[in-house]
Amino acid sequence: MSEQKRIILLLLLMTVVAVTIGGAAIGILYTTAFEEKRQGLVQMAQSQARLMEAVARFDRQFSQLDHPGGATAATLSQVREAHERYKGLGRTGEFTLARRAEGQIVFVLRHRHSDLAEPKPVPFSSALAEPMRRALSGMSGTVVGLDYRGEMVLAAYEPVVELGFGIVAKVDLTEIRQPFISAGLKAFAFALVVIAVGTLLFFRIGNPMVRKIVESERQLRKAHDELEDRVKKRTRELKESEEALRASEKQLRAVTDAMPALITYFDKDFRYLFANKTVEKWYARPFQDFRGKFVADVLEKEVADDLKTKFDRALATGKDVGYEKTVTYPDGVSRHVSGTFLPDLDNQGNPQGGFVMVHDITERKQAETQINAMKEEAELANKAKSEFLANMSHELRTPLNAIVGFSEALANEAFGPLGNRKNLESTVSIYEAGVHLTQVIGDILDLSKIEANAMGVEETAVDLARAVSNCTSMISSRAKEAGVRVTSDIVESIPFIRADERHIKQILINLLSNAVKFTPAGGRVSVDVVDKGDGGITIGVTDTGIGIDAKDIPKVLEPFGQVAESQKRDHGGTGLGLPICKFLMELHGGSLDIESEIGTGTAITIRFPSERTIQS
């Protein structure tokens, strides 16, 4: 790097350091001032809110009849009179008081210096007046956001509970930032002046030193070049030594002898040329006893012929050839081994010989046997669990049917009046809990049948349009209670399908129940049946509910899988409905797909293949 570039780099570095330090200092001061302003606004909003609430309580008790507009008007009159005499909110500081009426934020008081004119109402759903919207929502705190003018402000908001109002104390962010922006520009300009003066002094004082540094650098570069030549020469010598070492059989033997595998090298005629210590232990004799001999002269003929076939295939194909077999060790113990023939080819691809590496895999085989045994035990345990669940579910159904039947009769006062409303509500609760538990037991029975591969299909001609219509009617009362609107779009020309009608209705009821359950009041659930034109038919159930995160969709399709414990508390359920629906669709050769987005809703589509369609 030239000296001129070094000096320029030094100047840039000094500039960056100066700007960084100045910026950090101004940033700290700005943060402190911002926090002080925020605390001041919080104290103002809270003190004003508590004061107004105290005045409102007093007026409600003592001034209800003294003021023409009532107690609230009396309180507002006193607040307005007090603010006409208050001048301490700064250049852009402002105090506002508002209420919510007919979907609007209606301002009843505004204080900016002497200006007390009330701003125009703002829609409650607008992006404007964010602090006041939070105050009218019963929240308390601070926020940086848009006020009713569309200006970015720092605001403290507080609800006035006694009046049903919201109070906001705010100041424009530009007023807070302006002093610090001005100070930053001045500091930057001052830093540039100081750096320029320092640079001039540096050139005047430092030139002799720079020349000495340049000379020293030249000498160092020369010494570096000489040292680099020596290193290159030494590197060449080391590489030559390494090549000689790699060619040494002693080095190769030291490596292979340390390996537990049997390593042998054969020439292309399958004669022994090299073997490590493990091979000597295997044959129980030194390698020199069979060096240069054919394998057929050392091993049994059957074993030698089998190995020769694999070795020849490796040389012919130029690829590794593996094998596994059981052999008897010299100590008489049978063990499992895994071997691999690796061909040795020259640069032209001609075989020169080959290695064979043999590993003892007895322990791995034993582990595989244990794993298989454990797997069988787990399958038996799972089968026993399924049978237990099925038996227990059947045992529970009989008393549950009695509980549901008698509680329904009691709720309908079939045996006479219950006496009071509390008894009726308790009876209804018993009935609803019994119905829910019956549904849970039904799901568990279905799951047991699925796990046991005992779920059958009784195929009939199913009128999908009628099935969808019946299911939406069955769910309509529950949807009405939840404040959810259910609509359907069914084309009369939809063809019949071959399917188990009970399973189809079970799927539709489950999907519609889930959609209503997870859709808040005022939401909508829609069902549409579509003939795809290729013979296939789809049914879509779409809601405007809470939605599911994309990463959680696979989880809800697993038995007992739910997105969160809080959802289970809020909405109930066992997490079996969707997995059972998915299995039933697959049992019919179809599919179930989910598309969802948090806060937007969920769309579930079930598809029947063309083979299920009954052509008219």
Q: Identify the band that residue 452 occupies on the pLDDT scale cut at 50, 70 and 90.
A: low
What distance in Å separates the CA atoms of residue 157 and residue 139, rounded to the nearest whole number? 8
Answer whether residue 567 shows pLDDT above 60. no
Q: Residue 495: what are its φ and ψ, rounded to 5°? A: -70, 160
- What domains appear along the chain, each with residue ranges and CATH number? 3-178 (3.30.450.130), 250-360 (3.30.450.20), 367-450 (1.10.287), 458-612 (3.30.565.10)
Axis crossing angle, helix 421-451 with helix 577-587, rounded to the nearest 10: 40
What distance in Å separates the CA atoms of residue 118 and residue 108, rounded to the nearest whole number? 6
User: Which of 52-56, 315-319, 394-398, 420-424 ranks highest by mean pLDDT?
Assistant: 315-319
* Mean pLDDT value across residues 36-47: 84
Measured in residues, the chain has a length of 616
Contact 517, 543 (CB under 8 A): no
Token pair in block for residue 127: 């992006």
What distance in Å separates the CA atoms of residue 316 and residue 133, rounded to the nearest whole number? 82
What DSSP assignment string belongs to 223-270? HHHHHHHHHHHHHHHHHHHHHHHHT-HHHHHHHHHTSSSEEEEEETT-
The per-residue pLDDT for 569 is: 44
Q: Identify the band that residue 568 occupies on the pLDDT scale cut at 50, 70 and 90.
A: very low
Query: 504-516: per-residue pLDDT in tens?
Result: 988 898 899 889 9
* Mean pLDDT value across residues 145-159: 88
Q: Which residues contact 101 (CB under 8 A, 6 or more apart)?
A: 121
Q: Identify the band that residue 31 occupies on the pLDDT scale cut at 50, 70 and 90.
A: confident
Query: 466-504: per-residue pLDDT in tens?
Result: 889 888 888 888 899 899 999 988 877 788 899 989 889
The per-residue pLDDT for 32 is: 83
* Mean pLDDT value across residues 398-411: 70
Q: What phi-psi label fits residue 318: left (phi over 0), alpha (psi between -120 and 50 degrees) or beta?
A: left
The per-residue pLDDT for 606 is: 92
Closest-CA residue to 337 (of 313, 306, 309): 306
The per-residue pLDDT for 451 is: 67
Q: For 428-484, list the strands marked E by DSSP.
A: 460-462
* Minimum mean pLDDT range among 338-347, 395-404, 550-559: 395-404
Evaluate the CA torsion angle 23, 26, 29, 32 in order and state its sign.
Answer: negative
Query: 213-248: per-residue pLDDT in tens?
Result: 777 878 888 888 888 888 888 888 888 877 776 676
Token pair in block for residue 393: 């579910």
Per DSSP, 293 falls in state -
Query: 84-111: per-residue pLDDT in tens?
Result: 666 656 677 887 888 888 889 888 877 6
pTM, full prediction: 0.39
Burial of 216 (0-12, 13-18, 19+ CB in 10 A): exposed
